[in-house]
A and B are shown apart, each in its own frame.
Chain A
């Protein structure tokens, strides 16, 4: 297999945007092309678009071709859309990786885009129910918050994890987001504010949840030869893994605080990359809810099972700790425009490993990890390196 690297990245402003689905595509595409002036749209051979529900929010299918035309890309090697709920963006990066590693393409753009706040807040939440089983779950009104609440309760009951520890994830990520001009929220948050915010689904409060956000992100993925021609500082894709425990809640591990699929996806990625959890300098993990970040520390091997609450409380996932988690502000601070999230995570790791993350820069970051999930039962992990091996 050939080596594959990221050579450029760009992100739109995330938030409740006064912008159309196509506007968001233009913004992320512009930011990404601006970052690599040597590449023009006609040079891009492939496009993969991660997007979950444009059929509902923009009444639009045929997404990859629509985005290709919007950006002036004329795909000759690969054109596809990935719909994989919250992990759609990272799944798209895996497609680009595989095509390039196999020699079927040399330069592919992966773009993630979602326009969720459309046409109204009520409708946005109704639409989120498409991500769980319609017949057996969504018909009862189920969306993501109660699912992750089940995991949080179990983690509290089994390991003594506290509400304060859950809240600290919110404080950390909102604080990081205050240094990210593209984040949905930039006001930061105090422990009192998080603990005093309204209950959404017990024990998860508002500031322990990601919001409903519009946004887009794009990365350019290249073969080794093309990458070296385009930049002196490519960021290499070193490893990738994806695993599924199940789709419906009742197919997952009986203990909702255990996510074996995440551990399997991580082991696959670490093994391929030849790195260990303690080698990771910066990690973008899927904090759709505070509990998800805590369980991710454990399943990714940053700490032992059950110790995640103490890990965040001791600052070990913040600047100066073992690994900086969610330097861009995570899903809680940046927002979670489904298909865009995984691509925005990659864009952050790209910036960090090139030393271009500005006020958010993690000292001497050499190994980065992204974790994107679709519900509690499915996980995708990518490992990136400043060095190719």
Chain B
């Protein structure tokens, strides 16, 4: 439905739509990647095609560890946008010194704790309007 497409909640991840396509391609293969500025070597999260420190637009892709720990989290019970069900565990995950925002899947909400080890668990979401598969970088208890 054209109306649904107007409220597509997911990013367009294919090469013709974003400079960050490589992130999603690696994610589909089970890897968590980000960008490092080719000029000042700053490691970014999330990945970016322009360096806010030195204004360079040259960057390299680097794989991050797929394992991290929970820095902060909250469990939302109700009031989620339609299409997203509660309870939903939102978490800030520390990986390789970076803070990554995500959700925790396959977790028992009552058992989630700060410092808990988690690992990448790519989440397949609705295909894009052209039928390409789409993934988000979710996590699960390690």
Binding site for B on A (CB under 8 A): 122-123, 125-126, 128-129, 134-143, 145-146, 149-150, 153-154, 198-202, 209, 248-250, 254, 256
A125 to B45, CA, bound (A): 27
Nearest-CB residue, chain B, relative to A120:
B82
Can you list, as one digit per residue, whether each of B72-87 has a CB less than 8 Å from chain A (1) or not (0)?
Answer: 1111111111111000
When the two chains form their complex, are residues A139 and B9 in contact, meaning their CB atoms are under 8 A apart? Answer: yes
Known contacts: A146-B74, A154-B72. The answer to whether A126 contacts B102 by CB under 8 A is no
Q: From residue A294, how far is it (CB to closest CB) to chain B in Å?
A: 16
6 pairs of residues in contact across A and B, judged by CB atoms under 8 Å: A140-B101, A149-B74, A198-B78, A201-B90, A250-B100, A256-B72
Is B46 an interface position by the 8 A CB rule?
yes
When the two chains form their complex, are residues B99 and A137 in contact, meaning their CB atoms are under 8 A apart? Answer: no
Q: From residue A203, how far is it (CB to closest CB) to chain B in Å?
A: 8
Is B33 an interface position by the 8 A CB rule?
no
When the two chains form their complex, are residues A129 and B81 in contact, meaning their CB atoms are under 8 A apart? Answer: yes
A141 to B78, CA, bound (A): 12
> For residues 5 through 30 of chain B, which have their beta carbon under 8 Å from a beta carbon of chain A?
7, 9-11
Which of B9, B73, B76 meets A145, CB within 8 Å? Answer: B76
Is B43 an interface position by the 8 A CB rule?
no
Apart from A140-B102, A154-B72: 15 A-B pairs, beta carbons within 8 A? A126-B9, A126-B82, A129-B9, A134-B11, A139-B9, A139-B10, A149-B74, A200-B78, A201-B75, A201-B79, A201-B90, A202-B75, A209-B79, A250-B92, A250-B101
When the two chains form their complex, are residues A137 and B101 in contact, meaning their CB atoms are under 8 A apart? Answer: yes
Contacts of A198 in B (CB 8 A): 77-78
Number of A-B contacts (CB under 8 A): 97
When the two chains form their complex, are residues A150 and B11 in contact, meaning their CB atoms are under 8 A apart? Answer: no
Nearest-CB residue, chain B, relative to A209:
B79
Contacts of A139 in B (CB 8 A): 9-11, 125, 136
Known contacts: A150-B72, A249-B92. The answer to whether A143 contacts B136 by CB under 8 A is no
Q: From residue A8, how far is it (CB to closest CB) to chain B in Å?
A: 36
Q: From residue B110, how far is it (CB to closest CB) to chain A in Å?
A: 11
A267 to B102, CA, bound (A): 34
When the two chains form their complex, are residues A254 and B76 in contact, meaning their CB atoms are under 8 A apart? Answer: no
Which of B72, B101, B138 meets A153, CB within 8 Å? Answer: B72
Contacts of B10 in A (CB 8 A): 139
Known contacts: A126-B9, A136-B101, A153-B74. The answer to whether A141 contacts B79 by CB under 8 A is no
Is B140 an interface position by the 8 A CB rule?
no
Known contacts: A146-B90, A154-B72. The answer to whether A200 contacts B79 by CB under 8 A is yes
When the two chains form their complex, are residues B74 and A126 in contact, meaning their CB atoms are under 8 A apart? Answer: no
Nearest-CB residue, chain A, relative to B7:
A126
Which of B72, B77, B83 meets A200, CB within 8 Å? Answer: B77
Q: From residue A312, how far is it (CB to closest CB) to chain B in Å?
A: 22
When the two chains form their complex, are residues B79 and A125 in contact, meaning their CB atoms are under 8 A apart? Answer: yes
Most chain A CB within 10 A, of B7, B74, B103, is at B74
Contacts of B119 in A (CB 8 A): none
A149 to B89, CA, bound (A): 12
Which of B71, B74, B92 meets A201, CB within 8 Å? Answer: B74
A135 to B79, CA, bound (A): 20
Known contacts: A136-B46, A250-B45. The answer to whether A145 contacts B79 by CB under 8 A is yes
Contacts of B88 in A (CB 8 A): 141
Most chain A CB within 10 A, of B82, B98, B102, B138, is at B82
When the two chains form their complex, are residues B99 and A250 in contact, meaning their CB atoms are under 8 A apart? Answer: yes
Q: From residue A295, how far is it (CB to closest CB) to chain B in Å?
A: 15
Contacts of B79 in A (CB 8 A): 125, 143, 145, 200-201, 209
Most chain B CB within 10 A, of A138, A139, A199, A209, is at A139
When the two chains form their complex, are residues B76 and A146 in contact, meaning their CB atoms are under 8 A apart? Answer: yes
When the two chains form their complex, are residues B46 and A135 in contact, meaning their CB atoms are under 8 A apart? Answer: yes
Q: From residue B104, how far is it (CB to closest CB) to chain A in Å?
A: 10
Nearest-CB residue, chain A, relative to B71:
A254
A170 to B71, CA, bound (A): 28
When the two chains form their complex, are residues A143 and B9 in contact, meaning their CB atoms are under 8 A apart? Answer: no
Contacts of B138 in A (CB 8 A): 140
Q: From residue B78, how far is it (CB to closest CB) to chain A in Å?
A: 6
Most chain A CB within 10 A, of B9, B81, B103, is at B81
> For residues 56 through 114 of chain B, which have their beta carbon under 8 Å from a beta carbon of chain A?
71-84, 88, 90, 92, 98-103
Known contacts: A125-B80, A129-B81. The answer to whether A141 contacts B103 by CB under 8 A is yes
Contacts of A201 in B (CB 8 A): 74-77, 79, 90
Q: From residue B77, how far is it (CB to closest CB) to chain A in Å?
A: 5
Contacts of B125 in A (CB 8 A): 139
When the two chains form their complex, are residues A150 and B74 in contact, meaning their CB atoms are under 8 A apart? Answer: yes
A200 to B87, CA, bound (A): 10
Nearest-CB residue, chain B, relative to A137:
B101
Contacts of A209 in B (CB 8 A): 79
Which of A140, A153, A248 meets B103, CB within 8 Å? Answer: A140
Contacts of B7 in A (CB 8 A): 123, 126
